[in-house]
Amino acid sequence: MRKEMAEIITFKQSDGEYTDATAWSDRSGSSAHPTDWINLLGVRVSAVNIPTAVTRIESAIATGQKGYICIRDVHGVVKCQKDPALKEIHNRAFLVTPDGMPLVWALKLSGHQEADRVYGPDLMLALFDQGQRHNVRHFLYGTTPEILERLKSSLIAKFPRANVVGVYSPPFRDLTQEEEDNVESLINASTADIVWVGLSTPKQEFWMASMRHRLTPSMLIGVGAAFDFHAGIKRQAPKFIQRSGFEWAFRLVCEPRRLWWRYAVAVPSFVCLTVAQLCKLRHFPIPYETKNYLPMSESSSEN
């Protein structure tokens, strides 16, 4: 198996693109982007766990880097297959963390034994905990005013020295230009280090990508349902289910009307496409320029 996987992760460059020579292409990060990753169906998935992700984010804040982070599951990877813009957003992200266990298994099969699940709600708690030591400033963006208030109260109860410098509940529609300008001013005036974005996917990914160049906080992190979980609105799956790879089934039972179509399509599609990639029946190249995206420094104006 180890020999077969060593062949799977061979890497080559051709015609301005990094291609998966056999299946998951892996490349150690450069000094500009030191986190290792794999190419999973054309999406660059970072080889991280909770401690290493926290370390990378804290380092980015300390050095004035800017970027956004996508917390990715199977559904999101499959959605990228039919949406080139969404796939490019992921491949330009500071990190794409493995939320779903199948992504973790793919990383481990590719040789990244230290990789583990970076679940959005857990990453949020870890950064709030660590942030108390370094006075990290947090801004909460998303959901309703009532849930935001419950979320803020819950987080402060768990982490009394956490510094929440602002909250904003956007309308459930696209923002007008005036509203975008107001959001920009509000977030920048807050002097936040991290903006937690609790919108549905892919809305939150598009929002982070479109607003990144306008905002001064170091990191924008899309955590979706984490707001509802920590506010006590929705139940999280028990840990043993989360680790089993069947959390999707738990969520489907809890929200069948909203999620049945998502999982009816996403799970079989992911299995079929991953087998095709492993068997070299399909290739999923990542354009060279997106894989060498430089997280913005404090003085940079690039997106």
Strands, E assignment, 15-118: 17-20, 26-27, 37-40, 43-46, 67-72, 95-98
Helix or strand or coil: residue 167? strand
Give dist(CA 87, CA 81) in Å, integer.
Answer: 7
Least confident of 154-158, 201-205, 234-238: 234-238
- The closest of 228, 238, 242, 48 to 140, measured between CA atoms, is 228
How much of the chain, in percent, has pLDDT values that exceed 70? 77
pTM of the model: 0.81
- Is 70 exceeded by the pLDDT of residue 162? yes
The mean pLDDT value for 294-303 works out to 32
User: Other CB atoms closer than 10 Å to residue 182's CB: what's the count?
Assistant: 13
Averaged pLDDT score across all residues of the chain: 83
Preceding amide of 202 cis, omega within 30: yes
CB proximity list for 291: less than 8 A, separation 6 or greater: 18, 27, 44, 91
Place of tokens 């819950």: 154
Give dist(CA 125, CA 159) in Å, integer.
Answer: 9
- The closest of 98, 58, 100, 293 to 194, measured between CA atoms, is 58
Instruction: Report the pLDDT value the prediction gives residue 61, as an integer from 0 to 100.
Output: 97
pLDDT tier at 264, thresholds 50, 70, 90:
confident
Instruction: Report the pLDDT value the prediction gives residue 110, as an integer from 0 to 100.
Output: 93
Give dist(CA 293, CA 291) in Å, integer.
Answer: 6
**Greater confidence, 160 or 295?**
160
Give dist(CA 267, CA 218) in Å, integer.
Answer: 34
Give dist(CA 157, CA 90) in Å, integer.
Answer: 33
**Greater confidence, 84 or 240?**
84
Instruction: Report the pLDDT value the prediction gives residue 91, as an integer from 0 to 100.
Output: 96
Instruction: Report the pLDDT value the prediction gives residue 237, as an integer from 0 to 100.
Output: 64
Instruction: Report the pLDDT value the prediction gives residue 255, as an integer from 0 to 100.
Output: 72
Instruction: Report the pLDDT value the prediction gives residue 238, as an integer from 0 to 100.
Output: 72
> Which strands sit side by side in the sheet containing 137-142, from one edge to the other?
95-98, 67-72, 219-222, 194-198, 137-142, 163-168
**Greater confidence, 169 or 28?**
169
Instruction: Report the pLDDT value the prediction gives residue 71, as an integer from 0 to 100.
Output: 97
User: Quick one: how far is CA 256 from the chain centroid?
Assistant: 24
pLDDT tier at 288, thresholds 50, 70, 90:
low
Least confident of 88-102, 106-120, 257-271: 257-271
Instruction: Report the pLDDT value the prediction gives residue 5, as an integer from 0 to 100.
Output: 32
Give dist(CA 37, CA 107) in Å, integer.
Answer: 8
